[in-house]
Structure 1
Amino acid sequence: MLKVGLTGGIAAGKSLVARRLSERGAVLVDADVLAREVVEPGTDGLAAIAAAFGPQVINDDGGLDRAALGAIVFGDQAKREQLNAIVHPLVRARSAQLVAEAGPGSIVVQDIPLLVETGQGAGFHLVLVVDAPEETRVRRMVDLRGMTPEDARSRIAAQATAEQRRAAADVVLDNVSSAGDLLAAVDRLWDERLVPFAENLQAERAAPRDGGPQLVDPDPQWRHQARRLAARIAAADSRVLGVAHVGSTSVPGLPAKDVIDLQVSVATLADADGIAANLAAAGFPRWPGQWRDSPKPSCPDPAAWEKRMHCNADPGRAANVHVRVQGSPGWCYALGFRDWLRAEAPVAAEYLAEKRRLAELHAGDRSIGRYAKDKDEWFTDTAEPRLQEWIRGSGWRPEEAAAF
């Protein structure tokens, strides 16, 4: 199943998006509804809240006095965290139960107001954020909920910032115009991304890619996208020793194909094969066939360059996932070449010139196969000897290389 985490700031329009996704066929798991369910009279959750915050948060009917509890926690971060520590584990357990009951081909949308604050993004195939300018949200809370502007801003300040939510988002829906525009954006997302993603997941296939090499301008979002994908991969299997952003999108300022390359470190090739099913379930199915990098003069043994290749099932974010044994020649080369380009701007410019030459040469191709083959020749004949010289002169060590 495709698991989507839905979140957004208060009064941003998240509930409208959730309803539309449910209408289109999603299985909706609403954390707000569950948060009420787990603190109903007679539950362990309500008993824990009363013990923590006192009998004044229980009304005469034996239920939770939400206004009294809100007055205690919204202005006090420590007390808010104490409340979250009680409620969130109960909500997560109930959510997990509902998700487990959904069918294997389902699109499950979990509506979680504090998804970013509680760091749950890696548990979803996609995180969808609904956003709106702060002034718009304040006006909605004043006009529609009867809040004072001061109370509205206090509620906003108690949540993650817009910047934090956007950094965690795979998709941002900006609710800045009409409800009709927002619903139309949800429909496009459902038809063009969520449904194909769910179908690819169920079939354990990568999202199709057609066409020859096309370089685009560097995108500052590549770094954030790589981190989100890496977090999902790292959470997929304990045999993943680490995940690093490599390839051209990892070099700031360098034009590249709009494909995120990630290197997954494992202890053995047996582990690389062993994690394949869990990577596929996380959204990264195996690319057919056995793969190995082109041997380089510093290590001519072809077997030493063996790896496993996965790609993203998400049609909205192309990614290559190279699973390599930690410390192997290919593993070291991917990190070293990246750091060489980062450290030496003239080398990065030379590499860009070669990529542009080859992209133009293969502009009419229906795939990137010949482009990649020609680029491998440049790596082996031109770049690799100079890279080894840079490594010797700089003292660079692969085990000290940053992941991002």
Structure 2
Amino acid sequence: MLRVGLTGGIGSGKSTVADRLAEHGARVIDADRISREVVAVGTDGLAEIAARFGPEVLDADGALDRAAMARLVFGDEAARSDLNGIVHPRVAARTAELMAEAGSDAIVVHDVPLLVENGYQADYHLVIIVDAPVEQRVRRLVDRGLPEEDARARIGAQASEAQRRDAADIWLDNGAELDRIRSSVDELWRERLVPFEANIRSRSPLPLNGPRIVDPDPEWPRRASRLLSRISKAAGDSALRVDHIGSTSVPGLPANDVIDLQLTVRSLAEAEALAEPLAEAGMPLLPGADPDEVHHPQPDPEQWRDRTHVSADPGRRAKLYSRVAGTADWRFALLFPAWLRADDAARREYASIKRDLAARFGSDPDTRRYVEAKRPWFERALPRAERWASETGWQPPSL
């Protein structure tokens, strides 16, 4: 199952996107609709609300008077907390039921208005943000009968564009013609959502192919942050920490457009136990890799073992290394980018090496020749990085 979170500011037109995805076959779960269903007339949810807040929150037909309810909880944190305590568990339970009914091969789109505001991003394989210019959103709300002042107030009370950008794996601009947004959704469904779901179901990572060095991308840290949140959630208490490592974590460094990440665990047995949860989260094990192959000629091979996962998302290239806390491999993965951030000469030298080797091996679908060609430079770089750490007092982040 592929879980997709769909959200956008009020008036952005995310229902247009939800409807188009449903036409393609997505199972759309509408959080607003569920929140109304669980407090409908005759439900135990409504009975509990009436018992807690009194009959004044019911209208003449015995239904929830939402305006009266809003006035009652406005500015009263305890009352709002009590209301959420009644509604939210019921919404969560019903949502879980609908997801379970969707089937293992479904693409489930969860339409959640306050997804970003409530910090739900890590619950999904992908988050789609639908956006439109503020003035256009205001016009849409006014056309629905909302006073302009109220429309602007509601827009201002929601997450900012920057916050939504941080959360967005996919950003859809719904400010143009209807045909354009529908075409964007069609392409998204065909090129990303359908193959991503198939890859998760078959536990197939995305082929990484040969290295292609590109200029630094300011989006790399945000992409990494979203992945790290999902990995942390999937790993649970087994994750001592998760980090963005490698070249894409070094500002200003050209790199292969692959986000490298490190999951810190207590043992390799624990890393192996996480194989299935991580695969379900969209990061299956790299097939064909020898789990005990060591790429560093060190006296103690146990210090250089890891487990490697690769993203199944066709739109996002990423690798995840599960490594044991305190081992040499784990430490160097954290030390290396810290050293490059601090040493301009080393950073320029490494960029030159990468570009030269990528030009030689970039057309080779087997990346091992590229990795092997870099090994001599890494062997020389390791003691240099260690000297820098000794001179500066650098230590790995605390666990």
Category of TM-score, reference length = shorter chain: over 0.9
User: For 2:255, what is the secondary structure of its paired residue?
Assistant: coil
Counterpart Cα distance in 2 of 1:221 and 1:328: 30
TM-superposed CA distance for 1:252, in Å, is: 1.2
Letter in 2 for 1:209: L
Between 1:201-210 and 1:179-188, the stretch displaced more is: 201-210
- Matched with 2:40 is 40
User: For 2:176, what is the secondary structure of its paired residue?
Assistant: coil
Counterpart Cα distance in 2 of 1:77 and 1:119: 22
Q: Does 1:8 align with 2:4?
A: no
- Matched with 1:306 is 305
Map Cα deviations across residues 345-383 of structure 1 (whole Å, 9 max, x no partner).
Answer: 221111111111111222432343221211122101x21
- Matched with 1:329 is 328
Letter in 2 for 1:193: R
User: For 1:314, what is the secondary structure of its paired residue?
Assistant: coil
TM-superposed CA distance for 1:161, in Å, is: 1.6
TM-superposed CA distance for 1:57, in Å, is: 2.4
- Matched with 1:353 is 352
User: For 2:238, what is the secondary structure of its paired residue?
Assistant: coil
Counterpart Cα distance in 1 of 2:193 and 2:75: 38
- Matched with 2:363 is 364
- Matched with 1:127 is 127
Between 1:52-61 and 1:332-341, the stretch displaced more is: 52-61
Map Cα deviations across residues 271-305 of structure 1 (whole Å, 9 max, x no partner).
Answer: 11111011101111001222445225xx4322321
Structure 1 vs Structure 2 CA RMSD? 1.9
In the alignment, structure 2 segments of 5+ residues that lack a partner are: none
- What is the 5 A alignment of 1:118-157? 118-143=118-143, 145-157=144-156
Checking the alignment, whether the CA contact within 8 Å between 1:27 and 1:107 is kept in structure 2 is yes
- Going from structure 1 to structure 2, the CA distance change for 1:363 and 1:276 (only over 3 Å counts) comes to closer
- Matched with 1:164 is 163
- Going from structure 1 to structure 2, the CA distance change for 1:310 and 1:77 (only over 3 Å counts) comes to farther
Counterpart Cα distance in 1 of 2:300 and 2:265: 20
Letter in 2 for 1:254: L
Counterpart Cα distance in 2 of 1:4 and 1:282: 12
Counterpart Cα distance in 2 of 1:140 and 1:277: 45
Checking the alignment, whether the CA contact within 8 Å between 1:293 and 1:330 is kept in structure 2 is no
- Going from structure 1 to structure 2, the CA distance change for 1:34 and 1:390 (only over 3 Å counts) comes to same
Counterpart Cα distance in 2 of 1:220 and 1:53: 49
Letter in 1 for 2:187: R
- Going from structure 1 to structure 2, the CA distance change for 1:68 and 1:342 (only over 3 Å counts) comes to same
- Matched with 2:218 is 220
- Matched with 2:56 is 56
TM-superposed CA distance for 1:118, in Å, is: 1.5
- Going from structure 1 to structure 2, the CA distance change for 1:253 and 1:83 (only over 3 Å counts) comes to farther
Map Cα deviations across residues 115-144 of structure 1 (whole Å, 9 max, x no partner).
Answer: 11111111111111111121111111012x
Checking the alignment, whether the CA contact within 8 Å between 1:226 and 1:245 is kept in structure 2 is yes
Letter in 2 for 1:41: V
Map Cα deviations across residues 184-224 of structure 1 (whole Å, 9 max, x no partner).
Answer: 100100000000000001101102233x3211121222111
- Going from structure 1 to structure 2, the CA distance change for 1:15 and 1:82 (only over 3 Å counts) comes to farther
Letter in 1 for 2:231: I
Letter in 1 for 2:196: F
TM-superposed CA distance for 1:236, in Å, is: 1.0
TM-superposed CA distance for 1:72, in Å, is: 5.2
TM-superposed CA distance for 1:316, in Å, is: 0.4
Checking the alignment, whether the CA contact within 8 Å between 1:213 and 1:367 is kept in structure 2 is no
- Going from structure 1 to structure 2, the CA distance change for 1:250 and 1:293 (only over 3 Å counts) comes to farther
- What is the 5 A alignment of 1:1-400? 1-51=1-51, 53-71=53-71, 76=75, 78=77, 83-143=83-143, 145-210=144-209, 212-237=210-235, 238-288=237-287, 289-291=289-291, 292-295=293-296, 299-380=298-379, 382-400=380-398
Letter in 2 for 1:391: A
Checking the alignment, whether the CA contact within 8 Å between 1:56 and 1:68 is kept in structure 2 is yes
Letter in 1 for 2:200: L
Instruction: State the TM-score, normalizing by the size of structure 1.
Output: 0.93
Letter in 1 for 2:217: D
TM-superposed CA distance for 1:68, in Å, is: 3.0
Between 1:260-269 and 1:155-164, the stretch displaced more is: 155-164
TM-superposed CA distance for 1:70, in Å, is: 4.0
Counterpart Cα distance in 1 of 2:83 and 2:16: 27
Checking the alignment, whether the CA contact within 8 Å between 1:260 and 1:318 is kept in structure 2 is yes
In the alignment, structure 1 segments of 5+ residues that lack a partner are: none
Checking the alignment, whether the CA contact within 8 Å between 1:213 and 1:359 is kept in structure 2 is yes
Map Cα deviations across residues 18-52 of structure 1 (whole Å, 9 max, x no partner).
Answer: 11111101111110110110111232332344455
TM-superposed CA distance for 1:399, in Å, is: 3.7
Between 1:220-229 and 1:178-187, the stretch displaced more is: 220-229
User: For 1:209, what is the secondary structure of its paired residue?
Assistant: coil
Instruction: State the TM-score, normalizing by the size of structure 2.
Output: 0.94
Give the count of matched residue pairs: 395
Counterpart Cα distance in 1 of 2:204 and 2:363: 26
Identity rate, percent: 52
Checking the alignment, whether the CA contact within 8 Å between 1:3 and 1:108 is kept in structure 2 is yes
